[in-house]
């Protein structure tokens, strides 16, 4: 691919110096950026005076999308809120790579847009890779039409383990109480039943859940199709719950997913992935339906601070 602009980069050419100026500018320009997002899947804003979580909250709010709060989500990552809308991207330790995924595609409730903001870039590493899932799926379909048909027709079921208490050493360590917004076992079971999940309590009071059948391929408004699922993250990164990694993600009918198809997907994804090399004050707007993201490991004494704001179309 030589003719794609991904992500689109918007720089502060007019030299806006404060957030009041930025918000006035966005009040006339944000619709144009939303249109660019619809075709490119990601827009990176660079060089604007976004210094704090509050600045970022105001920047993201200027686009007029609906709120999508961490509390109401079924995300399994541990996060810390900075403002009502803004929270840490993922509290997983620096040496852990977070593999490409669509935010919360392993649950029935997921955001349509994601804003990222870099308040402090890592000394070394820590880029956010972004990958065009529509191009990935078009290529996969062309090279492996039989596998593509299976994914599209059968959908997927995800097994998730939710610990009894928050596990900060894991990229997926959110407790079941927090994940399900409940206090008691019976409230948890009620919530799971409403969502169509099945579940099993473990001896250590953790919970193993299985989703209803979720689609693996999503039709996008422009007629393209996105590989909207967590296959790559699951294949490369998820810890086994004990019964074997292949149990964690199956086709919707319970059949095992061929290992070779996952290897092929991970390899095609690399063709459509670009790392966002963060600079302080960067804001990236990503279409979560078209684009996957991840996080490369990082190191150094300076703390990497990348925060996010999730949003609904409206
Ligand atoms: Fe994420």
> Based on C-alpha coordinates, what's the Rg of the chain?
19
* Contact of 107 with 268, CB cutoff 8 Å: no
**Ligand 1 midpoint to CA 90 (Å):** 7
Statement: residue 314 has pLDDT above 80: no
**Ligand 1 midpoint to CA 171 (Å):** 10
- Tokens describing residue 302: 């300076």
SS3 state of residue 167: coil
pLDDT tier at 241 (50, 70, 90 boundaries)?
very low
Give me the pLDDT at residue 258, please. Answer: 93
**Ligand 1 midpoint to CA 15 (Å):** 31
**Ligand 1 midpoint to CA 293 (Å):** 6
**Ligand 1 midpoint to CA 294 (Å):** 6
Tell me the H-state helices in 144-237. Answer: 145-154, 176-180, 185-195, 231-237
- Tokens describing residue 30: 């944000």
Give me the pLDDT at residue 166, please. Answer: 81
d(CA 61, CA 309): 9
Mean pLDDT of 86-105: 88
**Ligand 1 midpoint to CA 150 (Å):** 26
**Ligand 1 midpoint to CA 21 (Å):** 30
Q: By C-alpha distance, which of 9, 13, 83, 84 is closest to 52?
A: 83
Give me the pLDDT at residue 256, please. Answer: 93
Of 39-48, 74-83, 132-141, the poorest mean pLDDT is in 74-83
Higher model confidence: residue 216 or residue 74? 216
Instruction: Supply the pTM of this predicted model.
Output: 0.91
Residues with CB under 5 A from ligand 1 (ion): 103
**φ/ψ (deg, to 5) at 21:** -65, -40
pLDDT tier at 307 (50, 70, 90 boundaries)?
very high
**Ligand 1 midpoint to CA 116 (Å):** 10
**Ligand 1 midpoint to CA 58 (Å):** 21
CA–CA distances in Å: residue 216 to residues 106, 119, 152, 260: 10, 34, 6, 17
**Ligand 1 midpoint to CA 283 (Å):** 15
What is the DSSP track for 231-254?
HHHHHHHPPP-SS-GGGTEEETTS
Give me the pLDDT at residue 112, please. Answer: 96
What is the DSSP track for 101-160?
E-TTTTSS---SEEEEEEEE--SEE--EEEEEHHHHHHHHHHH-HHHHHHHHHH-EEEEE
**Ligand 1 midpoint to CA 94 (Å):** 15
**Ligand 1 midpoint to CA 16 (Å):** 30
Statement: residue 2 has pLDDT above 50: no
Give me the pLDDT at residue 210, please. Answer: 95
Query: pLDDT tens, 244-292?
Result: 556 789 999 999 999 999 999 999 999 999 999 999 999 999 999 999 9
What CATH architecture is 134-268? 4-Layer Sandwich (3.60)
What are the beta bridge partners of residue 208?
A: 161, 200
Domain ranges of the chain: 8-94+111-127+276-287+297-312, 134-268
Which option is the CATH number for 8-94+111-127+276-287+297-312: 3.60.130.10, 3.30.450.40, 3.10.129.10, 3.40.50.2300? 3.60.130.10
d(CA 117, CA 281): 7
Q: What is the mean pLDDT of the chain?
A: 91
Give me the pLDDT at residue 170, please. Answer: 67
**Ligand 1 midpoint to CA 114 (Å):** 9
**φ/ψ (deg, to 5) at 280:** -55, 140
Q: By C-alpha distance, which of 120, 75, 115 is closest to 98?
A: 75
Q: 8-94+111-127+276-287+297-312 and 134-268 share one CATH topology? A: yes
**Ligand 1 midpoint to CA 288 (Å):** 9
Which distant-in-sequence residues (6+ apart) come within 8 Å of 184 by Cβ?
Answer: none
Query: pLDDT tens, 197-226?
Result: 999 999 999 999 999 999 999 999 999 999
Give me the pLDDT at residue 5, please. Answer: 80
**Ligand 1 midpoint to CA 160 (Å):** 16
**Ligand 1 midpoint to CA 102 (Å):** 7
Higher model confidence: residue 286 or residue 77? 286
d(CA 246, CA 248): 6
∠ Cα 300 303 307 (to 5°): 135
């Amino acid at each position: 691919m030589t003719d794609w602009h991904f992500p689109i980069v918007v720089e502060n050419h007019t030299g806006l110096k404060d957030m009041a100026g930025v918000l006035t500018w966005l009040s006339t320009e944000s619709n144009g950026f939303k249109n660019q997002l619809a075709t490119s899947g990601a827009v990176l804003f660079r060089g604007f005076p976004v210094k704090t979580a509050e600045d970022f909250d105001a920047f993201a709010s200027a686009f007029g999308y609906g709120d999508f709060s961490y509390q109401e989500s079924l995300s399994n990552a541990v996060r810390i809120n900075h403002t009502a809308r803004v929270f840490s991207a993922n509290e997983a330790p620096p040496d852990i790579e977070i593999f490409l995924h669509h935010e919360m595609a392993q649950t029935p409730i997921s955001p349509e847009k994601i804003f990222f903001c870099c308040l402090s870039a890592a000394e070394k590493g820590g880029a956010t890779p972004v990958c065009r899932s529509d191009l990935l799926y078009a290529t996969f379909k062309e090279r492996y039409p039989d596998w593509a048909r299976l994914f599209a027709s059968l959908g997927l079921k995800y097994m998730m383990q939710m610990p009894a208490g928050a596990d900060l050493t894991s990229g997926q360590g959110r407790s079941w109480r927090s994940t399900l917004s409940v206090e008691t076992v019976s409230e948890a079971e009620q919530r799971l039943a409403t969502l169509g999940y099945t579940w099993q309590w473990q001896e250590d009071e953790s919970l193993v859940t299985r989703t209803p059948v979720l689609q693996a391929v999503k039709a996008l408004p422009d007629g393209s199709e996105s590989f909207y699922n967590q296959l790559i993250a699951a294949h490369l990164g998820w810890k086994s719950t004990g019964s074997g990694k292949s149990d964690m993600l199956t086709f919707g009918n319970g059949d095992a997913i061929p290992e070779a198809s996952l290897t092929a997907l991970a390899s095609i994804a690399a063709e459509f992935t670009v790392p966002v090399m963060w600079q302080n004050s960067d804001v990236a707007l990503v279409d979560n339906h078209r684009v996957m993201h991840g996080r490369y490991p990082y190191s150094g004494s300076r703390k990497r601070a990348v925060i996010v704001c999730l949003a609904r179309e409206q």
